[in-house]
């Protein structure tokens, strides 16, 4: 006959063993992404390029500055900047070399950081979020899981794994037109850029897809926040507005003429 004490001991052992196994498996998984993250960050560019999901990638030297771009292109009509937004005109000639319009897939950019328009779970989704997770591979979601989400307007940084970029900065845009929260997204991403001493970053048009922020008001926020940041952080090399849709291309060409004047 088993005593009560013995039964309790047997049950305890039976329950604890799988929990311990699960904990050690989880620990192994965590170690996996950490090891992979370090591996990708320390490997040579040649070795890393062999692992990119897409063989097509763009270096910063392939992307013209706004000044170079504007010389070659016939630009869309100018869109005036918000009347209450003041710029320091003495910085115009240097700052138009610090921004770019790039139309295409953000996952092809071989730069310091690309921004992801994520959701509060950070566990992936559609749109640019889906494209980034697909190209980065499963270690990205494994690292994101350890962050336990991100509130709207905030931003967090992770490795970029198989992406050509070094890091992904995930930010959660607002659903619908909420200017204060969208400003926070840009500010918090740029703050991380500074803290991590990153030189190059690309933003998608945060919130303007699935989250339904109207495109032109969102572009005003993007351009004004980047202008403000660059006026105080002139050591940064380049901030890219990564445009996917033709509609945004026309808007950004119009808006950058006002926030980053060409003469
Ligand atoms: N490269 C650059 N821009 C892209 C790409 C790409 N590969 N793919 C789409 N875009 P969205 P949101 C553009 O919907 O509105 C997700 O499910 C797209 O054309 O990706 O902030 C998240 O998990 C648009 O201009 O992001 C969230 O649940 C811009 O990226 C939710 O969607 C943003 O569109 C976030 O919605």
In the reported structure, the alpha carbon of residue 69 is separated from the centroid of ligand 1 by a whole-number distance in angstroms of: 25
Is residue 216 pLDDT above 90, yes or no?
yes
CB atoms within 10 A of CB 160: 28
**26-64 pLDDT per residue, tens:** 444 556 999 999 999 999 999 999 998 878 899 999 999
Q: Cα dihedral sign for 211, 216, 222, 225?
A: negative
Reported as a pLDDT band with limits 50, 70 and 90, residue 5 is low
Q: Is the pTM of this model over 0.85?
A: yes
**Residue identifier of the C-alpha nearest atom 28 of ligand 1:** 119
- Rg of the chain over CA atoms, in angstroms? 22
Coil, strand or helix at 59: strand
Sequence-separated (6 or more) residues with CB below 8 Å from residue 221? 179, 182, 183, 186
CA of 118 to the centre of ligand 1 (A): 8
63: enclosing H helix or E strand: none
pLDDT in tens, 126-166: 999 999 999 999 999 999 999 999 999 999 999 999 999 99
Ligand 1 pocket test target in 105, 152, 209 with most atoms within 8 Å of CB: 209
Q: Is the pLDDT of residue 259 over 70?
A: yes
pLDDT at residue 210 tops 80: yes
Q: Atom 18 (ligand 1): residue with closest C-alpha?
A: 209
Q: For residue 146, give both structure tokens.
A: 């350890």
For a pocket test of ligand 1, which of 111, 113, 116, 128 has the largest count of ligand atoms closer than 8 A to its C-beta?
A: 128
């Amino acid at each position: 006959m088993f005593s009560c004490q013995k039964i309790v001991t047997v049950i305890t052992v039976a329950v604890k063993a799988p929990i311990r196994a699960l904990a050690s498996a989880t620990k192994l998984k965590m170690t996996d992404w950490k090891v992979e993250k370090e591996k990708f960050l320390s490997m040579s560019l040649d070795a890393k390029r062999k692992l990119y999901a897409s063989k097509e990638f763009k270096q910063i030297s392939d992307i013209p500055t706004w000044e170079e771009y504007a010389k070659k292109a016939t630009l869309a009509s100018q869109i005036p900047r918000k009347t209450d937004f003041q710029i320091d005109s003495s910085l115009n000639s240097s700052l138009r070399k610090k921004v770019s319009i790039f139309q295409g897939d953000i996952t092809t950019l071989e730069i310091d950081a690309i921004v992801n328009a994520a959701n509060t779970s950070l566990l992936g989704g559609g749109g640019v979020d889906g494209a980034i997770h697909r190209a980065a591979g499963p270690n990205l979601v494994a690292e994101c899981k350890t962050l336990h989400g991100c509130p709207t307007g905030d931003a967090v940084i992770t490795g970029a794994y198989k992406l050509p970029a070094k890091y992904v900065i995930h930010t959660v845009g607002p659903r619908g037109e909420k200017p204060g929260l969208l400003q926070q997204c840009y500010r918090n991403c740029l703050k991380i850029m500074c803290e991590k001493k990153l030189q190059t970053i690309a933003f998608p048009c945060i919130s303007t897809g699935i989250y339904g922020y109207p495109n032109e008001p969102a572009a005003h926020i993007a351009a004004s926040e980047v202008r403000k940041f660059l006026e105080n952080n002139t050591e940064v090399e380049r901030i890219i507005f990564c445009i996917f849709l033709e509609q945004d291309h026309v808007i950004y060409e119009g808006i950058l003429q006002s926030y980053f004047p060409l003469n």
